[in-house]
Amino acid sequence: MDCFAGPGPAAPLPLDEALARVQRTYGAVTELEEVPLRAALGRILAEPVTATVNVPPVAVSAMDGWGFGTADGAETGDVRRLTVVGRVPAGSVFPGTVGPGEAVRIFTGAPIPAGVDTVAMQEDCRAEDGAVLVPASLKRGANIREAGEDMTAGSVVLTPGLRLRAQEIGLAAAVGRSSLSVRKRLRVVLFSTGDELREPGTDKPEGTIYDANRYTLAAQLDALGAEVRDLGILPDKPDVTRAALADAATTADLVVTSGGASVGEEDHVKRVVGELGSVDLWKLALKPGKPLALGRIGTTPFLGLPGNPVSAMVTFMLVGRPLVLRLSGAESAPAPRCLVVAGFEFRKKPGRREFLRARLATGPDGRPVAHKFPSDSSGVLTSMVEADGLVDMPADATAIHDGDMVEFLPFTGLFA
C-alpha cells in the first residue's frame, strides 16, 4: 500500500527528518564472514578487536641513538662523556646491565636494556675513542616508548561498525590478527528508467539521451563497498517495471532506481513500489532532488532517485549514502563539513534547503573561498566535475552574500 495514497499530496519532508527516518527504520541486513587482512579494506567490521599483547611489548627506543642512565656519568660543560659497552639492534636483547657512566648504541624499536632510562638522538651525540658525548640536558625518559604506550593487552582497539581503512588494518596486524570478522558486502540491484535512455556506445535516435545515472550511481555504490548488479534500463511500462522490481527484490539487499519517481503519466516506479510493498517517504524539501522515494518491495529496502543526473548524485550523497551504510552495518557518521568564505551572491525563497555546487580556491588571506557554479540546473553534469563540493544553504535562509561564512560539504567525504 502507498503510504501517501490519501486525500491530498504529502508535504515535502525536510532532509533532517528523512535522515532521522533512515536511522530509525533501517538496520544492518548483511551476514558475517571472516576475511584475511589483505581483503578487509573498505569492509565493515562486525566484531570487536581486542589486543592480546601490549604494543610495544616492552620499553623500546623511539629512534636511533645512544642509551644510558641519567643519574650517572661525568659531565663536561653541556655534554656528558660515557663509555660505550655494547650495541642493541632492533630485534635483539642486550644481555647485561648498562652501569653508571656507560652507554649502548641503540636503534629504533630495540628493547631498552636494564640500567637505561634515556636515549639521546644520534644527531646530538659524538662518538670518540670508545666513548660517546651526549647532551647533559636531556630529561630522564627522553626518546623511550614505554611498554603498552600504544595499546595494552585486553583493551578493545577496534569497535564494530567501522569501515576499515589502511590504519585500522595495520592496527589489527599490530595486535596479531591475521583475519577479521566483517559484514558481507551489501547486494544492490540498480536500474535506470525511461524510454528516452540509451546505453552508452549504442545508437542514439533523435529525442534520446545516453544513460549516465547508472554509471555515476554504480561508482558511488562501489566506493561504499557495495556489490552492485546493474540490470540496465527499464522502459516506461508498468507491467515490465513491476516484474523487474519484484524479481530484483528476491535477490537484493537494496533496490535502487533513478527516474520514474515523479508524478508524470509515464513515471510508474513510485506507484509500482506502493503496490508491491510501501512508499514510506516521497518528496524532499530539497534542491536539487525533490522527487525521492524510500520504501520497501516486499521486505527489501527500496530507494528511488530522481532522473536528472545532478539530482540523482546529490540525493544519493545526502540520503542514499547514509542508507547504504546503515544497511551495511556501518556506524552512523555525518558527512564531514567545514566553514568556508562565500565568494558569491545568491538568493532564494525560504522553505527549501538548497545545496549549491561550488569549487574552492584560496583567498588573499589564505582562507578557503567557495565559488558557486554558474548554473543551478540539475541536468548540468559538468557542474559535478568542476565543483569540489556543496554549499549547504538552510531552508529558512534567503540570501548568501559575498564574504559570508557558509557550510561546505567536500565531495571527498560524500563519495566514500
- Predicted local distance difference test score (pLDDT) of residue 198: 95
Helix axes 321-328, 15-25, angle to 10 degrees: 10
Cα Rg of the chain (Å, integer): 30
| pLDDT band, residue 210 (cuts 50/70/90) | very high
| pLDDT band, residue 4 (cuts 50/70/90) | very low
Say which amino acid occupies 43: R
Neighbours of 153 (CB within 10 A): 14
Helix axes 269-276, 238-249, angle to 10 degrees: 50
CB 415 within 8 A of CB 385: no
Question: Residue 3 pLDDT > 80, yes or no?
Answer: no
The fold adopted by the segment(s) 60-145 is: Molybdopterin biosynthesis moeA protein; domain 3 (2.170.190)
Question: How much is the pTM?
Answer: 0.87
CB 305 within 8 A of CB 311: yes
pLDDT single digits (tens) 303-351: 999 999 999 999 999 999 999 999 999 998 888 999 999 999 999 999 9
Cell digits of residue 254 = 537494496
Question: Residue 213 pLDDT > 70, yes or no?
Answer: yes
pLDDT single digits (tens) 93-114: 999 999 999 999 999 999 999 9
Q: Dihedral through CA 59, CA 60, CA 66, CA 70, nearest 10?
A: -20
Question: Residue 399 pLDDT > 90, yes or no?
Answer: yes
Helix, strand or coil, per DSSP, at residue 367: coil
What's the number of CA atoms in the CB half-sphere (13 Å) around residue 384? 22
338-409: CATH number: 2.40.340.10
The CATH number, out of the four listed (3.40.50.300, 3.30.470.10, 3.90.105.10, 3.90.79.10), of the domain defined by the range 33-55+153-183: 3.90.105.10
Q: Specify the pairing of strand 187-193 against strand 227-234.
A: parallel
Strands of 154-299 (E only): list them.
156-158, 179-183, 187-193, 197-198, 209-210, 227-234, 254-258, 277-282, 286-287, 293-297
The CATH number, out of the four listed (1.20.1530.20, 3.40.50.2300, 3.40.1110.10, 3.40.980.10), of the domain defined by the range 15-30+185-328: 3.40.980.10
Cell digits of residue 223 = 566506493
Q: pLDDT over 90 for what percent of the chain?
A: 87
Question: Residue 83 pLDDT > 50, yes or no?
Answer: yes
Per-domain residue ranges for the chain? 15-30+185-328, 33-55+153-183, 60-145, 338-409
pLDDT single digits (tens) 161-191: 999 999 999 999 999 999 999 999 999 999 9
pLDDT single digits (tens) 231-253: 999 998 999 999 999 999 999 99
Question: Residue 8 pLDDT > 60, yes or no?
Answer: no
| pLDDT band, residue 6 (cuts 50/70/90) | very low
| pLDDT band, residue 7 (cuts 50/70/90) | very low
pLDDT single digits (tens) 44-73: 999 999 999 999 999 999 999 999 998 755
Residue with cell 510501501: 278
